[in-house]
């Protein structure tokens, strides 16, 4: 693996992974606890949570890729 140069604006590789993982946990907690869906387990609720989680996590990954992986 290539490490970031000392003067580079890029973060070392563990930091972007940690940021995306933390954001994924926050998104999952948001979808599970604050989105007004049924607390019962059924297919509709499961599908809705899965699609919402996927859309939000893909957005987080794209944002992190653009914001944290800046190259000169």
Evaluated on CA atoms 28, 31, 58, 47, the torsion sign reads positive
8 A C-beta contact, residue 37 and residue 45: yes
Does pLDDT of 21 surpass 90?
yes
pLDDT at 8: 64
In the block, tokens 């890729």 appear at 65
In the block, tokens 């940690």 appear at 18
pLDDT at 23: 94
* Mean pLDDT (whole number) for 6-19: 79
Does pLDDT of 22 surpass 80?
yes
8 A C-beta contact, residue 53 and residue 28: yes
Alpha helices in 1-72 (DSSP H): 14-29, 43-68
Q: What global pTM score does this model have? A: 0.72
């Amino acid at each position: 693996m290539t490490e970031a140069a000392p003067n580079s604006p890029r973060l070392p590789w563990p930091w972007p992974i940690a940021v995306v993982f933390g954001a994924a946990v926050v998104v999952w907690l948001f979808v599970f606890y604050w989105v007004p869906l049924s607390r019962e387990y059924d297919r509709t609720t499961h599908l809705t949570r899965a699609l919402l989680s996927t859309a939000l996590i893909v957005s987080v990954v794209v944002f992190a890729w653009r914001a944290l992986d800046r190259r000169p």
